[in-house]
Amino acid sequence: MSRLQLHNLGRMFGVVPAVDNVSLTLTDGEFVSLLGPSGCGKTTTLRMIAGFIKPSSGTISVSGTTISSPERMVAPEHRGMSMIFQSYAIWPNMTVAENVAFGLTLRKMPSSEVRARTEKMLSVVRLAHLKDRYPSELSGGQQQRVALARAIVIEPAVLLLDEPLSNLDANLREEMRSEIRRLHDEFKITTVYVTHDQSEAMVTSDRIVVMNQGRIEQVADPVSLYTKPQTRFVAGFIGRTNFLDGLSDGTHIRFDGFSVPADGVKAGPASFSVRPQSISIHAARSADEGRHGDAWWVQAVVAERAYLGEYWDYGITPVLSGQMLRVTAPPATSLSAGQTVWLAIDHRQAARVPAPEACA
């Protein structure tokens, strides 16, 4: 079992709290991503788990045994962990097979076992036909597969990945994030993955930990995180969204330039995160509003548009409002700038978030 637990973990650099009171438990075999912008504390957290940085407060334990605290540190090589870095860190003077076998050889395993495990791993990562090549003869994606194979072949208790796809181009990143998830599903190694790319986190993770300024904002599975953000930061960081900030009197919610039925929202500030795909565009307000009974209808004007192949990306401003809303529409929905339309905002998909004043 490799249950990983962080308890009230903190790390100070001078007077700056890089990681501030982080608590998190990973179940055996779980894939968890630490996601956030640069400087949010995710990489410092990962390096504390790896044993490269001592925590200023709190503890890290694996299977109930403390491996990091301000008083005691287990050396990185004695933690039963493997780490993959941005630069891959594979040996340029070793062949693919020699790189993958390196950790097994260090453990002084019998040569027959080293050979058998190496061949099996090369087959799993689809590199058996390249086993005699050197890293300089491989593509970036192939080098990353070598790094993954070398890390996994020793069967670590915990696998750590520090933005491993950041050096790849967009197409390779898309391929490799699926490959990382495939390997995890096969080996079920407890995994901590650090990234600033939300797409990587959404594709690979069982749960995502969104961090901001050294603290955890929210921990949830990808679907819950996207559809039910608990903070404005999470709503704005995970995907694109529109923030509608209004004031409810118990009967209506008044936003900038338009109002909608309160539908049970109590009197006071009322703020919502509305995804661009939760807003549909119509030439006129529907005469059969029973089909759109869960919609807030708003008359608006198309301010700008961009064709992105799979969809149109529109900037649309409600009449009498100064706020532009981002709206996506199918390729066949071609509108012109200046055109008047009706927006149907599906409030079932509108996530309630704290008002701006509550986030100060």
Conformation bin of residue 119: beta by default, left when phi > 0, alpha when psi is -120 to 50: alpha
Domain ranges of the chain: 4-237, 242-359
Q: How confident is the model at residue 289 (pLDDT cuts 50, 70, 90)?
A: low
Question: What distance lies between CA 166 and its chain's CA centroid?
Answer: 14
Token digits of residue 222: 């990808």
| pLDDT for 141 | 87
> Residue 292: is its pLDDT beyond 80?
no
Mean pLDDT value of segment 7-17: 96
Q: Confidence band (pLDDT; 50, 70, 90) for 360?
A: very low
72 by Cβ neighbours in 10 Å (0-12 / 13-18 / 19+) ranks as exposed
d(CA 205, CA 238): 14
- Answer whether residue 263 shows pLDDT above 90: no
356 or 289: whose pLDDT is higher?
356
Say whether pLDDT at 306 is over 50. Answer: yes
Alpha carbons 156 and 60: distance in angstroms, whole number: 17
Residue 39: closest CA among 194, 158, 170:
194
Q: Does domain 242-359 have CATH number 2.40.50.140?
A: yes
Q: How confident is the model at residue 359 (pLDDT cuts 50, 70, 90)?
A: very low
Distance in angstroms (rounded) separating the CA atoms of residues 49 and 53? 8
Summarised one tens digit per residue, pLDDT across range 331-340 is: 999 999 999 9
At 290 the pLDDT is: 45
Q: Please state the pTM of the whole predicted model.
A: 0.91
pLDDT digits (tens, 9 = 90+) for 124-182: 999 999 999 999 999 888 998 999 999 999 999 999 999 988 888 888 888 889 999 99
Q: What is the pLDDT of residue 2?
A: 61
Question: Residue 262: CB partners within 8 Å, gap ≥ 6?
Answer: 248, 249, 250, 251, 252, 253, 270
pLDDT in tens, 57-107: 999 999 999 999 999 999 999 999 999 988 778 899 999 999 999 999 988
Two tokens at 32?
């968890």
286, pLDDT greater than 80: no
The stretch 305-319 carries a mean pLDDT of 96
The three-class DSSP label of residue 228 is: coil
Provide the residue count of the chain: 360
Residue type, 5: Q
Superfamily of domain 4-237: P-loop containing nucleotide triphosphate hydrolases (3.40.50.300)
Same CATH fold, 242-359 and 4-237?
no
Provide the token pair at 280: 């549909």
State residue 89's pLDDT score: 82
Does residue 287 have a pLDDT over 60? no
Closest CA to 273 of 218, 208, 350: 350
